[in-house]
Amino acid sequence: MIDYQELADRVGRGEIKALSIKQPYPHHIFHDGKDVENRDWPTKGRGWFIVHAGISKSEIDKEDPLETAMPRGGVVGMARIVDCVEKMDSSWFFGRYGFVLKDAFSLPLIPCRGALGFFHLSPETCQHVATAIRAHSPLPQVRQPND
């Protein structure tokens, strides 16, 4: 189970880096079961990262109104890297290296600039992301007394 409060605290302290991914791939990660992020470079990093949707329209189908409406130019969610592989039995794997993903969840767009590779967000943006994670967190279950 994801501890959203602890995750939000870590993001708020600037401990978690972001990675920019061009749409529609963040959408596929959050909604279509995309379980790997393809890259030309490997990573030894494991754990949570912030998913930034790049502003570029180079990967989207410009004739598809759903794809052109996908949020871009900011943070759109989070995911966890659990491995980096060169081969994988996934229809989503096509890169030289694949960052194997788990526990991905989307967040409302938080506009900010991206960068190449893993990068730190500004302290202000980290606070906005932390607030969005806390809002995303499921409320604790309250036990009702039996009548």
Q: What confidence score (pLDDT) does residue 142 get?
A: 40
Average pLDDT, the chain: 93
**Cα 55 to the center of its chain, rounded Å:** 15
**3-class SS of residue 65:** helix
| Selection from 60, 48, 63 nearest residue 14 by Cα | 48
**Cα 47 to the center of its chain, rounded Å:** 12
Rounded to whole angstroms, the Cα distance separating 102 from 78 reads 10
Rounded to whole angstroms, the Cα distance separating 110 from 126 reads 10
**3-class SS of residue 147:** coil
pLDDT tens track for 12-44: 999 999 999 999 999 999 999 999 999 999 999
Tokens of 122: 């500004």
pLDDT tens track for 60-74: 888 999 999 999 999
pLDDT tens track for 113-129: 999 999 999 999 999 99
| Topology, domain 4-136 | 2.30.130
Residue 18 contacts residue 51 (beta carbons within 8 Å): yes
The reported pTM is 0.91
Rounded to whole angstroms, the Cα distance separating 116 from 99 reads 16
Domain ranges of the chain: 4-136
